[in-house]
Structure 1
């Protein structure tokens, strides 16, 4: 995953010249593996940062931004669509894929899988370029975006503090929340289900994810539910000035009971899970 100047020279330029050999419908079979969590955030060959929860893949020569269908040949009902944004470091594999894609294909335990890829759309082979000015501007923009949601919970808290908590008003407030866009329902600090309803679990659970993007937290949370982790919560917090979101699985009365759920979470694709008190 780590970008190298020689690596880019060998792959990016020749690939541009040979990109026409790839057409929609092109198929290829071979071994696929997935990137480890230690590479999350590292730079890919097209200049992007690797995100283990994105649906991306590395191929030796298919143009960047091509969309491919990848099928598990041992279980053909398991398939995903991925975007090419990197080049594999090991030439013996036809693909390296993201952790999320590996989760969907059922290859987290084996680490390697025989797959068939099919090109659904040939990409433009564009490389992401960055410079110090653009990075500075992006950082400033990110600060403004982060500052905006952190102010909203304070206003909400102030309003609630000065407003009588009658049953009718509470019901009206809940109804008002239900009309908000999903990503806005989590702005006030607290614990919610993945649909944005505020709840009050107690005891201990397992933290299986941590995000600054609520949409990504919701997406991973719902995926965890699909994988069988039904009792799932999203905790919102803005104590550090920026809003963050923890994904918590389970609600047990004591720490030991929560620890007993660790093998389940790890088997479902969350090896870094740990006990967290509500």
Structure 2
């Protein structure tokens, strides 16, 4: 009998890192692209959309990424593409505390009309 891991919590807080390599293959069969809005996750199915928010961030920065890779570092929950990481924090930080939640199928996110991760980046509300 094959053990199936339990699904991750609806909202998870953890440490994310980034990758900036390109040209190598991913576990999903894609070519690695540090400019794409993608991430590696240990167990979520490929093509799952995940909203990633910087924890305790007064600017409420967040990005929606697509799972396309696997990794095995037990200290991190995600390995974001360089472009996705830069939406949350300066690359010089190297690691950032985040909260993540799966975007329900068919839900592009508040105020969006597409399921393309690049279009799901949440903009900050204008100051009134």
Q: TM-score by structure 2 length?
A: 0.72
Partner Cα distance (2:64, 2:92) in 1:
21
2:16 paired residue number: 32
Report the alpha carbon displacement of residue 27 of structure 1 after superposing the two structures with TM.
1.3
Partner Cα distance (1:47, 1:32) in 2:
22
More relative contact order, 1 or 2 (CA 8 Å, 6+ apart) = 2
2:70 paired residue number: 87
Larger radius of gyration: 1
Instruction: State the SS of the aligned residue for 2:87.
Output: helix
Report the alpha carbon displacement of residue 18 of structure 1 after superposing the two structures with TM.
4.9
Structure with greater helix percent: 1
Instruction: State the SS of the aligned residue for 2:85.
Output: helix
Alignment of 1:46-85 (within 5 A): 46-75=28-57, 77-85=60-68
Alignment of 1:207-218 (within 5 A): none
Partner Cα distance (2:69, 2:82) in 1:
14
Report the alpha carbon displacement of residue 104 of structure 1 after superposing the two structures with TM.
0.7
Partner Cα distance (2:72, 2:32) in 1:
14
Report the alpha carbon displacement of residue 89 of structure 1 after superposing the two structures with TM.
3.7
Report the alpha carbon displacement of residue 120 of structure 1 after superposing the two structures with TM.
0.6
Structure with greater strand percent: 2
Instruction: State the SS of the aligned residue for 1:121.
Output: coil
Instruction: State the SS of the aligned residue for 2:103.
Output: strand
Provide, for residues 175-204 of structure 1, a one-character-per-residue CA deviation record: whole Å limited to 9, x for no partner: xxxxxxxxxxxxxxxxxxxxxxxxxxxxxx
Q: Which runs of 5+ in 2 are unaligned?
A: 106-117, 119-128
2:24 paired residue number: 42
Report the alpha carbon displacement of residue 107 of structure 1 after superposing the two structures with TM.
3.5
Instruction: State the SS of the aligned residue for 1:85.
Output: strand
TM superposition outliers: structure 1 runs of 4+ over 3 Å: none
Instruction: State the SS of the aligned residue for 2:63.
Output: strand
1:113 paired residue number: 96
When the two chains are superposed, the root-mean-square deviation of aligned CA atoms in Å is 2.3
